[in-house]
Amino acid sequence: MSTDDTTPERTLVEAVSDGLHTEMERDDSVVVLGEDVGASGGVFRATEGLYDRFGRDRVVDTPLAESGIVGTAVGLAANGMRPVPELQFMGFVYPAFDQIVNHVARMRTRSRGRYSCPMTIRIPFGGGIRAPEHHSESKEAFFVHEAGLKVVVPSTPYDTKGLLASAIRDPDPVIFLEPKLIYRSFREEVPDEPYTVPIGEAAVRREGTDVSVFTWGAMTRPTMEAAENLAEEGVDCEVVDLRTLSPIDRETIVDSFEKTGRAVVVHEAPKTGGLAGEITSLIQEEALLYQEAPIERVTGFDVPYPLYALEDYYLPEAARIEDGIREAVEF
């Protein structure tokens, strides 16, 4: 969609809020529920103004009980509503896993296609904001592993509103992961009117010929910084923001790798069992004959997410990403 001088600029969290307002205006079946989402506007203010505009029947404060929040959303979805439950931090999602894995993800297959479970579970995720324990995890791989769920991770305000609209309108459940590190890091034009960004399509943020760098969410910005720094050394990086982790955009990944023959995957989750391993296998299954160097993984470490003093060391930043890219290019 084209934008102009009158298009407002919004942060990522403001794009979440605007997206919720827009979809609730458009569709009376959309309801929001979660801890503090009502009059207080949510822990990150993402639901600010919804309660005053749509009232307590469509913006529902819940007890601190994540299994109950998602379980209630299952009942709403089964009865024709489109619930958007918010779980305040990814570290709080574990009590809701039973509902997500055994009910949300299986509704369509369990009912042989008679019923679906159209809900969008919003979860602020990732680190970098000096939060206490259980507030900074990046467990996207848990959800990607579960068939029946779509998993979306925006990295820009424009994509956030469009992808959120696509998620809410989707006939099946979507896990919508919001990188809170960049909730308020920058602004870009986000139109007031409704629009969608397709689920399942990656975005090539930077064209390049020497190496493909695959990433998503908050890691997109340091990856772009690394790519620009390396351009001064003559290394031409192609940066691909996956945007959707399930279903993953296999075609864009393979096309990019076939062009460059080298790849680096950047994510903040721990390396072992992380999505970088799956992307590496995908490339080797479908483009092995184009491979000119081992695929590098620049990730968080295989430890519980650290507290403040080590947080900056844990998260991949531009310098560490640059080192991973040099390894791939200089092999």
89 vs 141: CA distance, rounded Å? 16
311 vs 309: CA distance, rounded Å? 6
* Bridge partner residues of 89 (DSSP): none
Both structure tokens of 116 = 């679906």
- Running DSSP on this structure, what letter comes out for residue 175? E
- Burial environment of residue 208 by CB neighbours within 10 A (0 to 12, 13 to 18, 19 or more): buried
Residues of the chain by 3-state class (helix, strand, coil), percent to 5: 40, 20, 40
- Residue 268 contacts residue 298 (beta carbons within 8 Å): no
Q: Determine which helix (DSSP H) or strand (DSSP E) holds 76, and give its type and residue range.
A: helix 66-78
- Residue 232 contacts residue 325 (beta carbons within 8 Å): no
Short-list 121, 239, 137, CA closest to 179? 137
- Catalytic positions: 135
Three-state DSSP string of 203-272:
EEEECCCCEEEEECHHHHHHHHHHHHHHHCCCCCEEEEECCEEECCCHHHHHHHHHHHCCEEEEEEEECC
Q: What 3-state DSSP class applies to 86? A: strand
- Residue 67 contacts residue 34 (beta carbons within 8 Å): no
Q: What 3-state DSSP class applies to 17? A: helix
Short-list 290, 297, 295, CA closest to 268? 297
Paired sense of beta strands 9-10 and 188-189, if any: antiparallel
57 vs 55: CA distance, rounded Å? 6
